[in-house]
């Protein structure tokens, strides 16, 4: 069954042959947050750090936050994170020497036991780079049989995964093979959207060298990149909370590249590709930035805003992303794009009960009924609002332009 909608993908705007390199900032701001949990700082003002020095820690799972440059800790401050909130951060002055914390390096990236592998993923702070910032090592616990590499990038405008695949196809495939060997995984599916031929061709010329890795087209619908939906679409399997219950692990293709860095150099990812795009920006393109760079500098260097004041600058894709109050957002592992869009002034009218939000909902819940029973808690529970994946299709499709998702989000809070 295909629930969801085909959206105009607008990816062509930012696809080009070059990636503009901004990976040498003078200062970086590293937010002390992981997967929406605040972390504790471990460094003091004036301390010298190297690339890879642990500067913070998430205490509940003992997960490190690493420095992305070498230099001196200037201050503890707060910065704008991609969820549009100010988050405490550590400011480091970049000495541009790129000195690295020395670690023992293995020659062969597949020469790890499973326990070592999980340890490495944790030490190198590998997190989900598709937007979740979820620590990747948790996903690999337990017996695994199938790896799904998510190269779907189903939000419109975003092309950072696509560019990475185009540039690093061979490394990615090698890493997948290593992951499969280490975790005893029998099959890997690289899922891409069927109309995204760039990913297909960049993998196709190499794929014959790898057994048991398959490039799998998925339908051009949003939100097929949602983990649960992707698993049910490719494997026709359902799971309760995490896919490793059924022996499946799903990783974003950028995360695979981060795993490569971890296995090869025992280093965390310090740079990432970010898509700058949207009708409100004069020069849509992909940029390579250091983790911790303030993006206003990058945006100013690249181009101008085209509709002066009436703009939304969105961290992430236009469907699930968050509009920022300021363009000085900090580039993090999970920031895959900044989309600048002119604001649409839709007049909201009353619900006409057309039922379109029910038809598109990939979580198979009943948004309009949830919206209408917000004041009745016991009744609300029956509609299971907590199953919502916040894809935003209900708001997208509503002819009365009601922000249905906000009501459902509110309902989730009510139920909890």
The residue from 72, 302, 322, 374 that contacts another protein (CB under 8 A) is 322
Range 151-180, binding another protein (CB under 8 A): 156
- Would you tell me how many other CB atoms lie within 10 Å of the CB of residue 411? 24
The CA distance from 275 to 158, in Å, is 6
Collect all residues with Cβ–Cβ distance below 8 Å to 118 and sequence separation of at least 6: 137, 140, 141
Decide if residue 379 touches another protein (CB under 8 A). Answer: no
Decide if residue 86 touches another protein (CB under 8 A). Answer: no
| Alpha-helical runs (H) found in 80-131 | 114-123
Range 328-347, binding another protein (CB under 8 A): 339, 341, 343-344, 346-347
Decide if residue 61 touches another protein (CB under 8 A). Answer: no
Decide if residue 358 touches another protein (CB under 8 A). Answer: yes
Collect all residues with Cβ–Cβ distance below 8 Å to 148 and sequence separation of at least 6: 188, 189, 191, 230, 231, 234, 235, 243, 248, 249, 250, 251
The CA distance from 333 to 282, in Å, is 25
Segments of 67-128 assigned E as strands: 71-80, 86-94
Decide if residue 351 touches another protein (CB under 8 A). Answer: yes
Q: Terminus-to-terminus CA distance in the chain, angstroms?
A: 30
Supply 320's token pair: 């699930």
The site map against another protein for 270-309 (x = CB under 8 A) is --------------------------x--------x----
Supply 236's token pair: 């026709």
The residue from 194, 325, 376, 377 that contacts another protein (CB under 8 A) is 325
Question: Angle 197-207/160-183 helices, nearest 10 degrees?
Answer: 40
The residue from 97, 354, 376, 377 that contacts another protein (CB under 8 A) is 354
Decide if residue 392 touches another protein (CB under 8 A). Answer: yes
Q: Taking the complex as a whole, how short is the minimal distance between the CB of residue 274 and another protein, in angstroms?
A: 17
The CA distance from 249 to 189, in Å, is 11
Q: Taking the complex as a whole, how short is the minimal distance between the CB of residue 278 and another protein, in angstroms?
A: 9
The site map against another protein for 128-147 (x = CB under 8 A) is --------------------
Range 28-47, binding another protein (CB under 8 A): none
Residues in touch with another protein (CB under 8 A): 5, 7, 84, 156, 296, 305, 311-314, 318-327, 339, 341, 343-344, 346-347, 349-356, 358-359, 364, 366, 368-369, 392, 395-401, 403, 405-406
């Amino acid at each position: 069954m295909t629930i969801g909608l085909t959206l105009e993908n607008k990816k062509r705007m930012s696809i080009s042959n070059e990636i503009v390199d901004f990976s040498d900032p003078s200062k970086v701001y590293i937010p002390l947050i992981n997967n929406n949990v605040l972390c504790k700082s471990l460094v003091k003002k004036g301390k010298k750090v190297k690339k890879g020095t642990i500067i913070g820690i998430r205490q509940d799972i003992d997960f490190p936050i690493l420095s992305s440059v070498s230099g001196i800790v200037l201050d503890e401050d707060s910065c704008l994170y991609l969820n549009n909130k100010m988050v405490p951060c550590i400011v480091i002055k970049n000495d541009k020497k790129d000195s690295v914390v020395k670690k023992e390096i293995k020659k062969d990236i597949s020469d790890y036991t499973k326990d070592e592998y999980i340890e490495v993923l944790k030490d190198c702070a590998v997190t989900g780079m598709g937007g979740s910032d979820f620590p990747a090592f948790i996903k690999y616990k337990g017996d695994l049989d199938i790896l799904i590499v998510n190269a779907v990038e189903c939000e419109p405008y975003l092309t950072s995964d696509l560019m990475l695949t185009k540039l690093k196809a061979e490394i990615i495939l090698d890493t997948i093979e290593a992951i499969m060997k280490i975790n005893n995984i029998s099959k890997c599916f690289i899922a891409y959207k069927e109309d995204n031929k760039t990913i297909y061709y960049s993998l196709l010329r190499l794929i014959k060298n790898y057994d048991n890795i398959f490039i799998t087209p998925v339908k051009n619908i949003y939100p097929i990149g949602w983990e649960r939906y992707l698993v049910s679409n490719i494997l026709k399997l359902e799971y309760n909370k995490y896919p490793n219950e059924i022996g499946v692990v799903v990783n974003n293709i950028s995360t695979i590249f981060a795993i490569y860095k971890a296995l090869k150099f025992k280093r965390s990812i310090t740079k990432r590709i970010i898509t700058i795009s949207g009708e409100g920006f004069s020069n849509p393109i992909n940029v390579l930035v250091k983790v911790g760079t303030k993006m206003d500098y990058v945006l100013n260097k690249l181009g101008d805003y085209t509709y002066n004041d009436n703009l939304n600058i969105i961290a992430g894709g236009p469907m699930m992303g968050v509009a920022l109050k300021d363009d000085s957002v900090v580039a993090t592992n999970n920031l895959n794009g900044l989309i600048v869009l002119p604001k649409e002034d839709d007049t909201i009218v009353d619900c006409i009960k057309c039922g379109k939000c029910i038809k598109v909902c990939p979580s198979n819940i009943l948004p309009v009924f949830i919206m209408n029973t917000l004041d009745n808690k016991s009744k609300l529970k029956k509609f299971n609002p907590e199953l919502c994946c916040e894809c935003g299709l209900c708001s997208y499709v509503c002819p009365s332009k009601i922000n249905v998702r906000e009501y459902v989000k509110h309902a989730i809070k009510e139920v909890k």
